[in-house]
Structure 1
Amino acid sequence: LATGPSATYEMLVDGVGPWDFTGGFVPCELLLVGEDAYPVLVSSKKQVLIAVSQYGKGRMVVVSHEGILKDSKFFRFLTNAVEWLKPSPEALVGVHPRLDSLSQLLLRAGTKVQVGAELTPSLGVYCMEAYDCTQAKDLVGFLKGGGGLLVGGQAWHWANLSRDAEFLLNGVLELDLVTGGIPSILLVHGMLCFPLCLDSSNRCLLAAGHYGRGRVVVASHESQLFSPKLAKFLLNAVCWLDAGRKGLVGVDASLKKLCSLLSQEEVKSQVSQLTGDISVYCCSSHSIREAERVHTFVAEGGGLLIGGQAWYWASQNCGKAAVAQYPGNKILNRFGLSILGQSTKAAKHPPVGPGDHYHFRKALALFSRHVDKHEEVKGPVKDWLQRLAQDCAAFLHIPAHDCPAYASLHRILTKVLQRSGIPQVSRHCPVKSNSKEAVLLCMATELSLTMTDSAALVQKCAAGVCALPITVEIDGTNPARNGNSWCWTSQ
């Protein structure tokens, strides 16, 4: 069976004509948050409508409305999808009772179908709507063991991340991060992740997010995770991560002081490693040793409270990008959150409130819109430009090879540059540090380092580009005490 993204795509769309989404259903947009997920169908507005992924030994195909699973217009795609999902050619396909029309479509194609089926180990593929979570744990096991899942649904009336932020910050009037350590800056790049604390320069210091069935809260220094100054926030965080289970909280030995804070509110906790009976696991980013185990724990519904700084690691590993190679980021990047190698001053900050605030992906989308319209950057984006440039530079150090979720953002950045052109810079045409042109130059520089053909960043030669040789004058004026100054010319 097809395994790579290209081969999988070819198999799924084999014989499929024009996609017809007219009818009595309104699809939602799928968010690709896993490193193994990639799109099959994207609308003209760049919304993902059909996607595939893998988990454990199994595969899944997700469509953006259950109506797609019942519509004969998608007959060829649905039969292709089921064939791709089968762990073996003779595998039995089970179809949920609410999808009888899909059963009839598959039977017509000669597929071996169990109509009105519940999930059982005898099935090779299971087809269902996305609204029934009663068998979530069994579905995860089914996929991990090699089963295939075809699922459809929409959530446009349901999703609201702002409610999560409100819960986490309920009763928190101030976030005092003066806890005895120097924090690192966090990069929030996941679609289902959000900042909880931003300083006056839009640097993120606390963040949270959803991943799979689980949740994550990240602090910018491990000392924040047991500070009495942050007790209210930490209790909110553990409660949110627990998601109503009232389960046991496991605390790594390096954070054992957190147990006393939790005990004051009668939260069950113990110093332990990650075990199967834990609902929430608390650890520092330095102590993560079993990245795959932590990933599985969160993906399958666990809560992770984690904190740490990466600036010291960066200082000891010159030439290496902390966002890609710092050990803690090997797991955090997959959740859409990263700890950067830059430090910032520990201080008191207000929590993120309602309304517009900086988020890397939101800022990039708004910036791209300004570029497309050839207009001056205005509104909140104007105040976000410096942070956006720095976050773009950091994000582009995360390897995008074989990761569609990252590669798609690389393509967005490339298209922004191709549409706008790389700004020309000269003595007579300087670029201000906090401007649209400065962000574009930063994007171009970092993207060129990730591409084998950096010429692809420019669709056509810009007017006025000089022929070789080029003389570059660098004004190195230095207001030294002795009044000396220098100027270099290179040819």
Structure 2
Amino acid sequence: MGKEEDYRALLSGLQKLDFRGPYTPSALTLTGSHAFPLAMNAKDQVLMAASRYGHGRIVVLGHEKCLEEFPDMVRNAVNWLKSSNSRSKVGINMSCNVVVKNLQSASIQAEVCAFRDELGVYVTDAYSVDPHTKDLVSFLKDGGGLLVVGQAWWWAKQNPEKNLLLEFPGNKVCNVAGIYFSEHYGELGTIPVPPQIPSSWLAVSTAIMEKEVDYRALLSGLQKLDFRGPYTPSALTLTGSHAFPLAMNAKGQVLMAASRYGHGRIVVLGHEKCLEEFPDMVRNAVNWLKSSNSRSKVGINMSCNVVVKNLQSASHQAEVCAFRDELGVYVTDAYSVGSYTRELVSFLKDGGGLLVVGQAWWWATQNQEKNLLVDFPGNKVCSVAGIYLSEHCGELGTIPVPPQIPSSWLAVSTGKNFKEDLETLLSGVSEFDTGDLVASQVLVHGPLSFPIGTTPDDRVFIAGAVYGQGRVIVLSHDRFLGCESMASFLINAIRWLDDGRSGLVGIGAHLDKAHKLLSNSKLTCQMTGFRKDLSVYVCTSYNDAQHNEILEFVAEGKGLLIGGHAWHWVRVNLGGNVMTEYPGNRLLNKMGLSILGNFLSSGLYKAPDIKQVSSESYHFRGLLRSIASNVLQGKSLTEQDERCLKKLSTECFQYLAMQPHECATYSSVVALLTSIVKEAGIPQVSPTNPIKSDKERFMLCVGAGLYKNSSDPEALLPCIIKEHPALPTVANASIYINVNIADEVQWISTGLYLSPGMKTQMTMPTQIVGKGWAIQIGCQTDDIGGADVLKRAPVVHELFPVEKERIQVWNLWGGLIYLVAPPNSREEGLKLVVQTAVRAPYFQSGKTGVQEWVSSIRSAPAPWAELEFENIIMTIQSEGIRGLERPDEVARLWDDIMRAVADLAAIPAKFPRKERFVADVQITAGFMHSGYPIMMLSQSGEELLNPEEIRKKGVWGQMHELGHNQQRDVWEFKPHTTECTCNLWALYVHDKVIKLDRTKAHEEMKPENRNKHIQEYVKGGRQLGKWTKWTALETFLQLQAKFGWSAFKKVFAAYHHMSNVPRDNQGKMNKYAETFSTVVNRNLAPFFKAWGWPIESAVEKKLSSLPEWSDHPMAQYA
């Protein structure tokens, strides 16, 4: 039985859990792979949970009152717990006797008694278990069932000096199954029971909590660590997701650390003297290390014999001996492991515990020609777990022991200068020719990662890293792997990755060109899937099926060459997080590299100048450290730093989306950015307070990124948004939707809005869960990050994939709530329930009455409003509609306009997807741009609602953009007609609907301007390269003047049913000339040739049988 079946059994028959009080439950913390939540409140706090341990089962309720409040749940729990064994009796601690009648009424053999082994289930509070915790753990492990109830916040108040996680009685039992009572109050309220395990809780919280528990166990009983000297420890460098600091000095240097690898555990102390200086810490460490296996013996290398008495005094079976497999823990210095590093790594991987002590700075001074990261003996073992002893001397002093894992912005640093590696990789390489391939950008964020190939603006497309004992190189397009123009670099790369082993290079499927090219490296290359016996593995980033095995492969000393882009993945995964969900990043993130969803222009890029690598190379972590020093310590930024700030803003936002909160390298960056935000504050961007400096931009992006990805966003909200007016809300708003969508994504309006930072729960219909649907908060979908001046934040909308029935949604900046339907969706009677939201002014033709609109709807409090007509939806700020008296008249005009748009395009009058206009304070380009939605500036949006003014002045710009949306590639000749044929719809609408003279609709339609375009084009030699925009439009205007709009409708209609249309411009222009000629029954070849079109002789011959249009307007220029 899986977790989901367990969950359904435990909540069988329940629709909700009503935590009414007046009691206050404890929030529970879950760790490990077996624990799962049963009841989760609106704040994502777990109030009930279940788990398995050994052969047994356990259920934990966050307050003893739950026994009375939830009798059905208790009966379900006991029945589920009984299933783990064949013993029928249920024992009940006296403190829980209120449950006896409930269980007996369900024919359960329940009795009040002390705990005894022969029971099938035991029900107890969390306070009375102390005398028999070991017995209860054994009972659980051997198949017994436990129901434990209680709260821990009161105990925490009464025992502030004690470690709640380890010393609260209930935790001494429940923690073996990954459930902890916490000191936090659980918020009361009615909790719906979803059909699946509630999963809005962050999975990462499990890993975070596991590390915190480990940390507290390792530092238990210690208030400070006094590094007095005269010894000098090494600073440690941490990478990956498992390593975490135990001691961090005032400079942010890590002097002690711990980690896990495989089934084992490791502790590293930055100097051997620590064994004598910190005896309590050493005992804690050995206790923790022993927990990873059942073997009791502790072996001690002769060099560390000073620790023997300390361990023996704590009843450890400790002996000085050479390393052997059957030990539970081995204590060794970092210098003596060189001859048996493989054995130690295998020991660790299989569950052994290692305590490694030593410093590396002296070795570095004596071995300057060697690579400390991979050649220093201790690093050959510790690095597989993400801990490296560095050449940097650790500063001495007294280090306080904080209650949580230490983190500091000062810990953000780069761990190595990769100049020598780059010399090898770039030998004989002066440039990177990417040809016509569109690559993604690579984010280089790890302390041991480095850029290799960059654009002139420092965007990376090739990068490398050291991971454990191995190496990795990533190229941001898979076809780079077989690119002849990169042959020299690729051969250098494969040799660098092989690192002198002369081993077998395995090349993954579909990389035949890479195999051919890399075979020139003089290494043996073979087409094969991943195998552990390879020296280097070459693959793409599109599959993560073996990412754990590959991580281990690299960590233990092998090489990885991986290629792939992510921009296509972003396009097809609506609302997906490329940092966490893109297959390649599940592997690469831990190595300090990530492939981003944006793309880079193809081209020829210079290779880095090795001489400038240390002084001028851009590195994410290095620049972060510089800006922190600037904000927090007043240090000046260099010109190079200033130049890269805009890029850093975007990269910070992307990096934060990775969300590995359990990772020390990530948490140090979060600590840095949080310190910056709290110290400097966030600029309050608006049209009246625009952001012009790159430093202000950085602060804005970082604030938004932190809020979106922080474990405590509410604490940041006041720093980011100063004015936060409270708007009246509605509760449990039901939205009913019918959907019949063609082959395009569609937004569905709800008429509801979320205020900035406001969170709400949405209950979704089961039939759309996991089917590509999404919830979108916000209509302003333009990313304006490329603008020099910002009038709003760059990204102000959020997408949430509908992967479960109950979703929590929010947007830092607030926004209208939309359901986003995938292509080809057909559903009827969908019902959505929004727990809390703000009503927005929302007019729907055919549903909203004018009186209703005027009297109430237009006054709805949300700052954004929508008007939905037959074929178009307009979204503008509410202040623009407050005085709108006759939305029906606006609807009438726009219904006519949109029918005319359809008429010219020769498509049905009812659009398969309604067009959308969104008016924003700032957009990505110009005053307007096409797309879905069509974006325009706020002032242009207000023009949409005044029929009288539209009839006087026209709406050329809006029609131009609607025309763009009607353009079709089969009759478009890019780039010539891109800004030309869209104007046909502007002309048609003004002719047929608005009935405004063309010369008043647009300045360029005046005769003098039209003639000027023709004459200049003819005078210039009728060069097709200059046949663009208004000049090109003249060709179509002349056709329209002669043959009327009906000809265009017939031409467009013909193309709807046409196949095998040429893809090149010359072929398409000839096809258009032939089609138009056929429609009007005239030979138009001479006319098009007069315009400089490359009409082929075969087409001329084909059209020669038709009457010629000999007196066409261009004949006069013959």
Normalised to the residue count of structure 2, the TM-score between the two structures is: 0.41
Equivalent residues of 1:323, 1:340 under 8 A apart: yes
Post-superposition offset of 1:165: 2.1
Query: 2:329 matched to which residue of 1?
Result: 125
| Partner in structure 1 of residue 643 of structure 2 | 383
Give yes or no for the alignment of 1:338 onto 2:594. yes
2:258 partner amino acid: V
State the structure with bigger RCO (CA 8 A, min sep 6), 1 or 2: 1
Q: Please show how residues 42-121 of structure 1 align to structure 2 within 5 Å.
A: 42-69=248-275, 72-86=276-290, 87=292, 91-115=296-320, 117-121=321-325
Instruction: Identify the residue that residue 40 of structure 1 maps to in structure 2.
Output: 246
Aligned counterparts, 1:199-278, within 5 A: 199-278=455-534
CA displacement 1:127-146 (0-9 Å, x = unmatched): 11223333222112101111
How far, CA to CA, are the matches of 2:719 and 2:618 in structure 1? 33
Where does 1:190-201 land on structure 2 (aligned, <5 Å)?
190-201=446-457
CA contact (8 A) 2:475 2:562 kept: yes
8 A contact 2:293–2:351 mirrored in 1: no
**How far is the alpha carbon of 1:15 from its aligned partner?**
2.5
1:445 aligns with 2:649: no
Whole-angstrom CA distance in 1 between matches of 2:718 and 2:236 = 30
What is the identity, as a one-letter code, of the residue corresponding to 1:191? P
Quote the offset at 1:63 in angstroms.
1.5
Counterpart in 2 of 1:370?
A: 630
Render the CA deviation track for 1:235-282: whole Å, top value 9, x for unaligned. Answer: 111111111111111111222222222333421111111113211000
1:285 aligns with 2:576: no
- Quote the residue 2:219 is aligned against: 13
How far 1:188 sits from its partner (Å)? Answer: 0.8
Against the structure 1 CA distance between its residues 73 and 262, is the aligned structure 2 distance closer, same or farther, given a 3 Å change threshold? same
1:152 aligns with 2:604: no
From 167, 174, 192, the counterpart of 2:424: 167
Structure 2, gaps ≥5 residues long: 1-174, 177-208, 365-371, 374-416, 728-862, 864-876, 880-919, 930-935, 943-1118
Contact 1:34 1:334 in 2 (8 A): yes
In 2, the alpha carbon distance for the partners of 1:100 and 1:9 equals 25
Aligned equivalents of 2:426, 2:941: Cα separation in 1? 55
Matched-pair contact (CA < 8 Å) for 2:682–2:719: no
Match of 1:24, SS state, is coil
Q: Note the C-alpha offset of 1:393.
A: 0.9
Aligned residues: 481
Separation of aligned partners in 1, 2:449 and 2:564:
18
Q: In structure 1, how many angstroms separate the alpha carbons of the residues matched to 2:420 and 2:689?
A: 46
Structure-1 separation of matches of 2:665 and 2:219? 21
Report the alpha carbon displacement of residue 374 of structure 1 after superposing the two structures with TM.
4.6
* Structure 1 position 167, deviation (Å): 1.8
Counterparts of 2:937 and 2:223, CA distance in 1: 69
Whole-angstrom CA distance in 2 between matches of 1:257 and 1:426: 52
Which amino acid in structure 1 is aligned with residue 653 of structure 2?
A
* 1:136 to 1:459, Cα distance in 2 relative to 1, 3 A: farther
Name the counterpart of 2:618. 358
Q: How far apart are 1:106 and its partner, in Å?
A: 2.6
SS of structure 1 residue aligned to 2:678: helix
Cα shift at 1:401: 4.1
In structure 1, the residue matched to 2:554 is 298
The answer to whether the Cα contact below 8 Å between 1:195 and 1:204 also exists between their aligned partners in 2 is yes
The verdict on how the C-alpha distance between 1:488 and 1:135 changes in structure 2, with shifts beyond 3 A counting, is: farther
Give, as a single letter, the amino acid of the residue that structure 1 aligns with 2:710.
Answer: M
Q: Deviations over 1:305-335 (max 9, x none)?
A: 0010010111111211212111111111111
In structure 1, what is the Cα distance between the partners aligned to 2:473 and 2:706? Answer: 30
Letter in 1 for 2:283: T
Amino acid at match of 1:76: D
From the superposition, tell whether residues 403 and 375 of structure 1 become closer, same or farther in structure 2 (CA, over 3 Å): closer
SS in 2 for 1:171: coil
- Which amino acid counterpart does residue 123 of structure 1 have in structure 2? L
Change (3 A) 1:110 1:253: same
Counterpart-to-counterpart distance in 1, 2:720 and 2:706: 18
Q: Specify the SS of the correspondent of 1:30.
A: strand
CA gap of 1:489–1:423, structure 2 versus 1, over 3 A, is: farther
Question: Matches of 1:303 and 1:42 in 2, distance apart?
Answer: 32
Instruction: Report Cα offsets for 1:44-65 as digits up to 9, x if no partner.
Output: 1111111111111111111222
- Contact 2:294–2:328 (CA under 8 A) maintained in structure 1: no
User: Could you tell me which amino acid in structure 2 is paired with residue 251 of structure 1?
Assistant: I
Superposed CA RMSD in Å reads: 2.7
CA contact (8 A) 1:254 1:284 kept: no
Mapped partners of 2:262, 2:724: distance in 1: 54
Equivalence for 1:4: 210
Q: Secondary structure at the match of 1:66?
A: coil
Contact 2:538-2:562 at 8 Å conserved across structures: yes
Q: Which SS does the other structure have where 2:616 is aligned? A: coil
Query: Does the aligned pair in 2 maintain the 1:13–1:77 contact within 8 Å?
Result: yes
Structure 2 CA distance for aligned equivalents of residues 270 and 359 of structure 1: 35
What SS is found at the alignment partner of 1:440? helix
Residues 172 and 233, structure 1, Cα contact 8 Å, conserved in 2: yes
Give the Cα separation in 2 of the matches to 1:229 and 1:147.
48
What one-letter code is carried by the residue in structure 2 that aligns with 1:487? Answer: Q
Instruction: Using the TM superposition, name which of 404-413 and 136-145 deviates more.
Output: 404-413
What displacement does 1:459 show? 7.7
Change (3 A) 1:64 1:352: farther
- Return the alpha-carbon distance in structure 1 between the equivalents of residues 937 and 353 of structure 2: 69
Q: Secondary structure at the match of 2:226?
A: coil
Q: SS at 2:703's partner residue?
A: helix
1:456 and 2:456 aligned: no
Q: Does 1:327 align with 2:583?
A: yes
For the residue of structure 1 that corresponds to 2:649, the secondary structure is: helix
Q: Tell me: CA distance 1:161–1:83, structure 2 relative to 1, closer, same or farther (3 Å).
A: same
Paired residue secondary structure (1:36): coil
Counterpart for residue 187 of structure 1? 443
Is the contact made by 1:195 and 1:206 (CA closer than 8 Å) also made in structure 2? yes
- TM-superposed deviation, 1:475: 4.4
Whether the 8 Å contact between 1:62 and 1:152 is mirrored in structure 2 is yes
Contact between 1:128 and 1:150, CA under 8 Å: does it hold in 2?
yes
Task: Structure 1: state its 5+ residue gaps.
Answer: none
Structure 1: distance between partners of 2:675 and 2:588: 27
Following superposition, the deviation at residue 197 of structure 1 comes to 1.3
Between 397-406 and 218-227, the greater mean CA deviation after superposition: 397-406
The answer to whether 1:407 aligns with 2:611 is no
- For residues 527 and 683 of structure 2, the distance between their equivalents in structure 1, rounded to whole angstroms, comes to 55
2:1006 counterpart residue number: none
Q: CA deviation at 1:373?
A: 3.2
**Partners in 1 of 2:490 and 2:306 — Cα distance?**
49
Distance 2:710 2:475 in 1: 33
